[in-house]
Amino acid sequence: MKLFKDIEQEETPPEAGAMINTFRAFGYNLQTAIADIIDNSISAKAQNVWINYNWQGSDSFTTITDDGIGMNLDKLKNAMTPGSKDPIDERDEDDLGRFGLGLKTSSFSQCKRLTVATKSDGYAIINRCWDLDYVNETKRWSLLNFISDNSLVANLNKLNTGTTVIWEKMDRLVGNSKKENQSAMDVFLAEFALVEKHLCLVFHRFMEQKRINIFMNGNKLEPWDPFMKQSEGGQVVANEALDKGQVKIKCYVLPHISKLKVDERKNAKTDEWYQLQGFYVYRQNRLLLHGDWLGLFAKNEHFKNARILIDIPNKLDHDWKIDIKKATATPSFNVRKDLIRLGKLTRSKAGSIHRFRGNQIMLDSSIEAFDFQTVWKARKTRDNARYYYINTDHSLIKKLLEQDSISKKEFKTALKLIGNSTPVESIIQYHSEEPESHEIREDVLELDQGTIDVAKMIYSSLKSQGMNRDTAIKQIFNIEPFNQYPELNQYFN
């Protein structure tokens, strides 16, 4: 700038040790760090990535090898230089990087020694290394031509082209643990199990499109599709293009869990659906974040089937405030209103699944507009506490109550009906919408004759089985609601 042309100037380069240690505090975990390395492999046109991790206590190490195009020496040194790219530069459409920091910051977050070995077509392997202990000792930006063990690039030797990233001195994960420390090893292995789960989701599109194969300690990873596109019963409730066609949105409502077979439920991770609801933001087919309503809505139990896919190009990184870790995003102003609209639509459709399955309207004791009766009813007291009870006006229950005696078969039929019709979905939905309606219920109600009769019946049954009085009473007081009524003891003779 001409304004400063004649102004006295000084160069103030950052102190090497302080700066390089700052790179360790960018907030990566092992999952996001390894995903960032794989981004570079994909940008290098790799078709295969091999991740190998080896437990050796404090000497544990990890290697990530790809069969991409590799690098010459200038490109390698550039790749190892912090801030080697300007984030405002235009990127190729398939470039998953942005800041020129990912390789360094993700690696330094996990280890104190980063070595990159690479091999381009027709050339031998070359390598460069950052050792943070050495940088801290010398206070200099000293990039080393060093590799601790040539066996670490054995896989690279077998390839025509490719790159191996080596992490040693993995202090953040293993500390000073000894190899014999079983607890530390369990943590180490558990962390890599989470990495496997993370990669199957983050790169599922690349795997589905046969663009990349990822192996962990020899095991090929399989893609995990969060939208269950191959399952029956799901819905696509909207499909739109926003922001001049640059942002593509697809709104999914997953099938109700009752529609899935046992093996499908396990694969769908139905036990995690509450956490997995929300927006899924993809950039160049790579998942950036998931299971997040982006501050536009709160998570809710009866919207857990709602998932919305958002595709953005890398040229919108600034508008969406994509961070270095590629793990956070903020909707641009141009699409915010539309995301709220589509979110409301998808959540409404998802909620209707649970309302239908739980027969919430029919469960409500205040509604009498139906010709038939449900087995269960719900009512609110004057203090807005909600209670659930068996409906004595249901045809089968009413018939059994009118009889002087019932057969064993009739009793089993009634029990099966009561058990199978328990309105779990409606109870969950009521609790999700009005948690206070359950929380304000009185802990102890006045002892009534019905409770006394049932307790005495159980007591007689236990005694007839040969149980002594004290044991029978103790067992009864371990059961709700009898544990709330110590005065029941006087009725056990």
pLDDT tens-digit readout, 388-433: 788 888 878 888 888 888 888 888 888 888 887 777 767 776 666 6
- pLDDT top residue among 356 and 80: 80
Query: Alpha-carbon distance 281 to 201, whole Å?
Result: 12
Q: Measured on CA atoms in the order 271, 273, 275, 280, is the torsion positive or negative?
A: positive
* SS3 (DSSP) at 310: strand
* Angstrom distance (rounded) from CA 19 to CA 101: 13
Instruction: Give the tens place of pLDDT for each residue, 105-147.
Output: 999 999 999 999 999 999 999 999 999 999 999 999 999 999 9
Convert the pLDDT of each residue in 9-38 to its tens digit: 888 888 888 888 888 887 899 999 999 999
The token duo for 468 is 């002594």
Cα gap 51→212, rounded to integer Å: 13
- Per DSSP (E only), the strands in 213-301 are 213-216, 219-220, 235-242, 247-253, 278-283, 286-292
Q: Residue 209 above 60 pLDDT? A: yes
Interatomic CA distance for residues 213 and 220, integer angstroms: 7
Q: 383 CB contacts (<8 Å, ≥6 apart)? A: 440
Instruction: Give the residue from 318, 307, 313, 345 showing the smallest Cα distance to 244.
Output: 313
Query: Is the Cβ–Cβ distance between 338 and 248 less than 8 Å?
Result: no
pTM of the predicted structure, to 2 decimals: 0.73
d(CA 296, CA 274): 16
- Mean pLDDT is lowest, of 138-142, 258-262, 380-384, 434-438, for 434-438
Q: How many CA atoms lie within 13 A of 477 on its CB side?
A: 14
Contact 430, 386 (CB under 8 A): yes
| Cβ–Cβ under 8 Å, residues 281 and 265 | no
Helix, strand, or coil (residue 443): coil
- Count, in order, helices (H) and strands (E) of the chain: 19, 14
